Amino acid sequence: MSWIDIGDINDIPLRGARIVKTQVGCIAVFRTAPDEVFAVSDTCPHKQGPLSEGIVHGQSVTCPLHNWVFDLNTGQAQGADEGSIPTYPVRVDGTRIMLDGEAVSRRTAA
Amino acid sequence: MTKQKIVVIGAGMASGRVLETLTEAAPEQFDITLFNAEPRGNYNRIMLSPVLAGDQTYEDIVTHDDAWYADRGITCRFGEKVTEIDRDAKIVKGANGDVAYDKLIFGTGSEPFIIPLPGHDLDGVIAYRDLEDTERMMSMGEGNKVVVIGGGLLGLEAAAGMAARGVEVTVVHIMGHLMERQLDEAAGYLLRKSLEGKGITIKLQANSKEIVGEDGKVKALMLDDGTELPCDLLVMAVGIRPNTALAKEAGLAVGRGIHVDDQMLTSATDVYAVGECVEHDGAVFGLVAPLYDQAKVLGQTLLGEEAAFVQKTLSTKLKVTGCDLFSAGDFAEGENREDIVFRDPSRGVYKRLVIEGNKLVGAVMYGDVADGNWFFQLIKDETDIDEMREMLIFGPAYQGGEASDPLSAVAALPPEAEICGCNGISKQTIVDAIAAGATDLGAIKSTTKASASCGTCTGLVEQVLQVTLGDEFKMPAAQSICGCTDHTHEDVRRLIKSMPLQSQEAVWQELGWKTRNGCHVCRPAINYYLLADWPLEYKDDPQSRFVNERKHANIQKDGTYSVVPRMWGGVTTPAELRAIADAADKYDVPTVKVTGGQRIDLLGVKGEDLPNIWDDLNKAGMVSGYAYSKGLRTVKTCVGTDHCRFGTQDSTGLGIKLEKILHGAWTPHKLKLGVSGCPRNCAEATCKDIGIVCVDSGYQISIGGAAGMDVKETELMCSVPTEEDAIEVVLAVTQLYREGAKYLDRIYKWLGKVGMDWIVEQVVDDLENRKALAARFELSQTIYNHDPWADHVEAKADKYAPMADLTLEAAE
């Protein structure tokens, strides 16, 4: 793994998200109420809604377009909806957020 | 503790219910012995007809199987007759030995009445009473002929059951019409027609004379007019009578049945009777409802609780497929009785109500029995029907105030009918989900998505639940906000004010939220309630808002946004228009559109450009139009006295003033206003949430209009003489709505719940309260009457850009 520093955790609102542009598309980096950080694809598989703009609750996010709910741990859609979003390795070093550079460039490298 | 010894004679439906009551309430208290002449336990006798018709099997209708008795430690002596009862020694003597009792229960039931015609003891002459009889009838098939004597409930069910098996059935009935105890002639006639349509021959006013046999076996029934009806089986279903032989021998008081008092106690100490064998207050019983009532009373009595059996009005339904009939109460003709009759021969519908004084005492229906239970309730409750008498026969659908039964419409929908338009969910999908265990609205929402979007089909979904589940589904009086809590919106609003709760954490904690911090359904609602009730104490939480309200722009389907600057009262200037045009050019806005609210919408702006375009528009003096908010949208105006030759007041001026005062206020749902300068109403004020129509004498203020999914005309709230009064009333009613309404209820919905009278009391009549409401609104506006665009440009413009851009690094 090659960890890339993408910014400070305080740049993301609590129970919110920011996006990171990568070679594999926009990735939404979430910060939950107890400061857990998750990185998943920003794009809802249903109608490509921007998940980073959804309401963050527990360890889930609700897509702002049609209320699909995704578990940020697994990327799986919850309830009746079927689908999933890619998840990416991410960790917090102090207050710095580190994203796995290999994971976000893998598809272009292949 | 020594157990009380209970001996029960007869394993029928009534005594079975007594055993259930006793073993459930006090499993260790009783030592029970159960005798039954039939070599089996309790089964649901009234379901024998469906067994006969092939709709069910015997296994389906067994109420208590061997395991049930074993689990409860009940000693079963099935197939064994009781020969004698020694009341002095308190002993029951059975064929296989004696049993002592502390309490004895007679549940000996009834026996079918066999007319003592010559030949009644031939093989092939049976009654319709138990499983053996049923099996005998089930052995008949195509090519067989059967005669049924008796055109009552039981005889007809037997006839229909065998006819369905291809048997040639003739019903012989001594009376002038079928089911004369439950039906009048007209309904009896319709029933006869329907049964004849099933291939059953009906002979009325027919007296049986003799049963003809050959080699000891039945061959035909001879009527007294000489007609001979050949048959392989003859079923006598002419009635039942209480089985009292054993009770008589034991010396109990017996009339038609075993005499019992209100506690089901017979004339002897510690000896009770229950079910079809009893006579209570001169009546004997054959339908199941009163038998269960008796069983309950006896069970409670034995458990030492106070209970008394009360005879009730009964209703009947015939269990024959395709024959819809219903009867309840008493419909014999009498001096003080009047009839209301409705007939529709082409549909085969007949309804008759019998009225005595101001009360409904009987009802007979055929063909359309949907309202049967409603009428039955009126009879039972002895409701005064004087006021609804004119329309009574048409059922609850036509009674003032009470809506027609929507369930019938939902029940009639075909399976492929779309219930939820947003998510394209059909009735079948919902029914399937219910079958798979989703038995309430929340479960339906989460498993099918039906009603999970706009919610307008919620009522329909609930009705599908009710139609599918029947009584198992309780229509919720009030729905909880979401799966995170059992509280309703109303409860939470009340508790936020009264406890008081001034933060989201306090709400989650004090009201026992089931999730860590809510969900996308409850968070926006709670955020709104907190800021509306505690404007100074609570700080609005953008992360609990839907994206539009967080980003102060409307998200579009492709993830871009629309930007709508305010045009106060729909009035703009060349300078503003130039600034809008420049912004559209600069940010490559693909679509520029005029909205319904008299302003201009710039559609297709990229998220990261938002702070820049806002900054440009701000510099030209424009602010956010809140076109995205559950809050004040626009105040639509006409040109009023400024230009119009009909205008009576300065409608444009008032509209601008209102928009400036109300700008930025959050409300439970969007709030649209209109001010028209005269009753020609060019500003369409009467389909707004709040509408003002100017007249010569002042201002007419009405509320509760809508022109969206529902279209509503406003209702007049009041007329006031001055512009100052009009503004104060508008602020007061807005605040009343803000403080009381459920989140996502438009004013018309709130109005429907609280009523105009109450609103007028609060806002119009009580001047002090009006001022207080307006003052609370203005207090809240000290926080919220501002332009969010400017705030965002200044404080968090950088948050609109990506946090990092790795596309370049990765490309290296």
Task: Please give the pLDDT value at position B118.
Answer: 92
Distance CA B593, CA B603 (A): 8
Tell me the pLDDT band of B332, cut-offs 50, 70 and 90: low
Chain B residues close to A79, C-beta within 8 Å: 446-447, 449
**CB contact A66 to B (< 8 Å):** yes
Give the gyration radius of chain A's Cα atoms: 13
Query: According to the model, what pLDDT value does residue B319 have?
Result: 62
Better-predicted residue by pLDDT, B488 or B170: B170
Does residue A46 sit at the B interface (CB-CB below 8 Å)?
no
Q: Is the CB of B453 inside 8 Å of chain A's CB atoms?
A: yes
Backbone angles phi, psi at B733, to 5 degrees: -70, -30
Q: Is the pTM of this model over 0.80?
A: no
Task: Compute the average pLDDT of residues B419-425.
Answer: 74
Tokens at B20, concatenated = 């259930």
Query: For B485-521, how does the pLDDT look when each residue is reduced to its tens digit (9 = 90+)?
Result: 878 888 788 888 877 889 998 888 888 888 888 999 9
* List of residues 6+ apart from B71 with CB closer than 8 A: none
- For residue B205, pLDDT over 60 is answered with yes
Within an 8 Å CB–CB cutoff, is residue B292 touching chain A? no
The pLDDT, as a whole number, for residue B471 is 75
Q: Is the pLDDT of residue B402 over 50?
A: no
Q: What is the mean pLDDT of residues B122-148?
A: 91
* Among the partner residues B516, B544, B799, nearest to A55 by beta-carbon distance: B544
Locate the chain A residue with the closest alpha carbon to B520.
Answer: A55
Closest residue of B to A29, CA-based? B803
B67 and chain A in contact, CB less than 8 A: no
Give the three-class secondary structure for B390.
Answer: helix
Q: What are phi and psi of B673, to 5 degrees?
A: -120, 160
Could you report the per-residue pLDDT of B710-747, keeping only the tens digit for each? 899 999 999 999 999 999 999 999 999 999 999 999 99
DSSP secondary structure string for all residues of chain A: --EEEEEEGGGSPTTEEEEEEETTEEEEEEE-TT--EEEEESB-TTT--BGGGSEEETTEEE-TTT--EEETTT-BBPTT---B--EE-EEEETTEEEEETTTTTHHHH-
Give the mean model confidence (pLDDT) for residues B459-485. Answer: 78
User: How confident is the model over A39-63, as pLDDT tens digits?
Assistant: 999 999 999 999 999 999 999 999 9
Contact residues, chain B, for A12 at CB < 8 Å: 803
Q: Which two tokens stand for residue B717?
A: 């709230």
* Residue B735, both tokens: 């605040």
Work out the minimum CA distance from A19 to partner chain B, whole angstroms: 5
Q: Is B680's Cβ below 8 Å from some Cβ in A?
A: no
- The owner of tokens 């020969």 is B83
By the CB < 8 Å criterion, does A15 face chain B?
yes
What is the DSSP track for B48-95? HHHHHHTSS-HHHHBSS-HHHHHHTTPEEEET--EEEEETTTTEEEET
Long-range Cβ contacts of B791-795 (<8 Å, 24+ apart) = B792/B552, B792/B610, B792/B611, B792/B614, B793/B611, B793/B614, B793/B615, B793/B618
Do B453 and A66 lie within an 8 Å CB cutoff?
A: yes
pLDDT tops 50 at residue A108: no
Return the residue of B nearest to A24 by Cα. Answer: B807
Residue B405 pLDDT > 70: no
Distance CA B237, CA B156 (A): 9
Task: List CB contacts (< 8 A) between B545 and chain A.
Answer: 55
Of A11, A48, A80, the CB nearest to B803: A11
CA B99: distance to chain centroid? 50
Across the interface, whether the CB atoms of A21 and B804 are under 8 A apart is answered yes
B-chain residue closest to A77, CA distance: B446
Q: Note the ipTM here.
A: 0.90
Predicted local confidence at residue B376, as pLDDT: 82
Give the pLDDT band of residue B810 (cuts 50, 70, 90): very low
Rounded mean pLDDT of chain B? Answer: 88
Q: What is the pLDDT of residues A8-39, one digit of tens each?
A: 999 999 999 999 999 889 999 999 988 899 99
Q: What does the pLDDT average to over B91-105? A: 92
Portion of chain B with pLDDT greater than 70, in percent: 94
Q: How confident is the model at residue B409 (pLDDT cuts 50, 70, 90)?
A: low
Choose among B447, B559, B607: nearest Cβ to A80.
B447
Which of A6, A50, A67 is opposite residue B803, by nearest beta carbon? Answer: A6
Residue B404: pLDDT band (50, 70, 90) is very low
Nearest CA in chain B to A69: B520
Whether B810 contacts chain A with CB within 8 A: yes
Q: How far does the CA of residue A101 sit from the closest CA of chain B (Å)?
A: 8
Find the range with the poorest average confidence among B24-33, B129-138, B378-387: B378-387
pLDDT digits (tens, 9 = 90+) for B559-615: 899 999 999 999 999 999 999 999 999 999 999 999 999 999 999 999 999 999 999
